[in-house]
Structure 1
Amino acid sequence: MMQLRCPWCGDRPETEFHCGGTTAITRPPLDCSNETWGRYLYFRENPKGDHAERWRHTAGCGMWFNLVRDTVTHEIHAVYSMTDPRPGARP
């Protein structure tokens, strides 16, 4: 079982969390085309390696946070606040 580090509660088992998907995806405006809306809903990157995700500690404090996880090894490389930039990201 994967262990995640909640910034407020510390290390906990994965079963206490809910993944909210990829971070930093911007929702298109309501007046966008059907093609744009379809790309937003259904087309996501599926990287091999580091991937930035948002998680919620549903069985604990209920807080949302971001993390960078290796999709191959499940190793967690960074945990950071929803309002902080991704560690190591290029501007």
Structure 2
Amino acid sequence: MLLIHCPYCDETLPEAEFAYAGEAHIVRPDNPADVSDEEWRDFLFIRNNLKGPHYERWRHIHGCGRFFNAVRNTVTDRFLTTYRAGERRPDPESLPEDGQ
């Protein structure tokens, strides 16, 4: 069972309390009408599939209901850290190897 820390509630709870919401820090084009079909396709569907630390968005659906970001190691499936939406993304080199 994955345990995830909500940075708003300050609680660590089972994964069933949360919903995965995709890759974090994806920036929407300023004016979508001005981008090509290929650029819009890439924005909607093309994501990094990294081995190691990966930035993700999660939502605490059975708690505060808020979205937050997390860094999860895709090899070990451990969460290295979680942080509030809008906060600067942490450098993965500064995070503990074994997670929270």
Same fold (TM over 0.5): yes
The answer to whether 1:27 aligns with 2:28 is yes
What is the percent sequence identity of the aligned residues? 43
The answer to whether 1:47 aligns with 2:47 is no
Aligned twin of 2:97: none
* Whole-angstrom distance in 2 between the partners of 1:9 and 1:19: 18
The answer to whether 1:83 aligns with 2:86 is yes
Contact in 2 for aligned 1:18/1:55 (Cα 8 Å): yes
Q: Could you tell me which amino acid in structure 2 is paired with residue 14 of structure 1?
A: E
* Deviation for aligned residue 1:9: 4.3
* C-alpha RMSD of the superposition: 1.6
* Whole-angstrom distance in 1 between the partners of 2:59 and 2:10: 12
Q: Which runs of 5+ in 2 are unaligned?
A: 93-100
Using the size of structure 1 for normalisation, the TM-score is 0.90
Q: Could you tell me which amino acid in structure 1 is paired with residue 15 of structure 2?
A: E
Q: Which runs of 5+ in 1 are unaligned?
A: none
Instruction: Identify, as 1 or 2, the structure richer in helix.
Output: 2
**Deviant stretches of 4+, over 6 Å:** none
* Whole-angstrom distance in 1 between the partners of 2:16 and 2:10: 14
Using the size of structure 2 for normalisation, the TM-score is 0.83
Aligned twin of 1:3: 3
